[in-house]
Chain A
Amino acid sequence: MKKPVLFLAVVAISLQSFSGSPYKAGDYATDFNLKNLDGKMVSLSQYEDAKGFIVVFSCNVCPVVIKYEDRIKELHQEYSSKGYPVVAINSNDPSVSPGDSYEAMKKHAKNNGYKFEYLYDESQDVAKTYGATNTPHVYLLSKNAGKLKVEYVGAIDNNADNGAAADKKYVVDALNKLIKGEQPSVTATKAVGCGIKWKKA
């Protein structure tokens, strides 16, 4: 009788450590090592001069991502020189979402003139570790004593349909605070997005 119980306990513990709980502001994020579009492995630790990162769980086909495409590019353009580059990650399983394959990512980045890294989370481990559920889903990180502190999790702004009409620019506001050495005032938001397409069990 003892063995099954022990077995279940081990399974329960390993499941817990695997999925963890979604990152929220104040947590420390784990670095990753993911393949970029040139086939090179990229980690956040390689960005020696960065003060932090705008990590965006993204993809090629989600209509909400497409709505935000220009705004994501603008974030990189505006904030990479200030120390906060965009790092986009596609975690969708291409067998569930065929338009999100690695080859399709290359085409998508080229067609859209991406100037930031667009990484392939083939195992989906990074999305699971971070607790990402949707695209686009932003994790704003700052380098803090050699660690990656989560500063904000959520939407880019409060109007997916029309960026010009957005009157709460969560990520921009949080970045501007960080650059001034202050804490972001809003650290978590929710928005409708496309669910990340998980591998079928």
Chain B
Amino acid sequence: MKNYSFIIIAFVFLTLIAEPANGQNFSQIRMTDLEKILSAKEDKLLVVNFWATWCPPCVKELPHFQKVAKEYNKEKVLFLLVSIDFPSQIDSHLRPFLKKNNVALDVALMMDTDQNEWIDKVDPSWQGNIPVTLMLNNVKKTRKFHSGDLDETELRNMINSLL
């Protein structure tokens, strides 16, 4: 097993380097990247959904995000799907899922597996369950954190309450 894990790590490292060549809306990020995104001083509402392909309620709510995102101007409301999929399953699970479901929203795979280091930085009330959705505008200093899945109306209402 140890030999295999080394191969997996090497493989993940290689895909990381090769990433810009083959992903339009798919990136791989670390906590420092996410912290930069979450602290950006831009007057727009950032809607960040934490999900994984292996999480049924996440998969259930994803179409609502895809649909509702189209109703808003990207300059005002920006969507980001942060995937907590296993880094070893990028090619076996995540990429095929994104393709099959025509996910056009930006997807960022969290590569920092030491989740205890970054969960509280997203929101101290977050217990590590997914899905969760964080909405914030750092210029307007508005922020909401929702634990659990959202239906279309709940998602729209949550966005509108912060605009």
Contact = CB atoms under 8 A, between A and B. Distances in A.
Interface of A: 63-64, 67, 133-134, 154-155, 158-162, 164-165, 168, 189-195
B23 interface: no
Interface residues of B, number: 28
Contact of A67 (B1, B86, B120): B86
B7 to A, nearest CB: 11
B55 interface: yes
Nearest to A61: B56
Contacts, number: 72
Given A158-B114, A164-B2, A165-B113, A192 B130 contact: yes
B130 A195 contact: yes
Contacts of A165: 5, 9, 113
B139 interface: no
A56 to B, nearest CB: 15
Contacts of A67: 86
Contact of B116 (A64, A134, A158, A162): A158
Give the interface SS of chain A, mostly helix, strand, loop or mixed: loop
B148 A189 contact: no
Q: A160, A161, A190, A192 — which one has the most chain B CB atoms within 10 A of its CB?
A: A192
Nearest to A162: B5
Nearest to B117: A158
A131 B90 CA distance: 32
A63 B128 CA distance: 14
B86 A192 contact: no
Given A67-B86, A164-B1, A191 B9 contact: no
Interface in B111-146: 113-117, 119-120, 126-130
Nearest to B120: A190
B115 A134 contact: no
A195 B57 contact: yes
Interface string B5-40: 100110000000000000000000000000000000
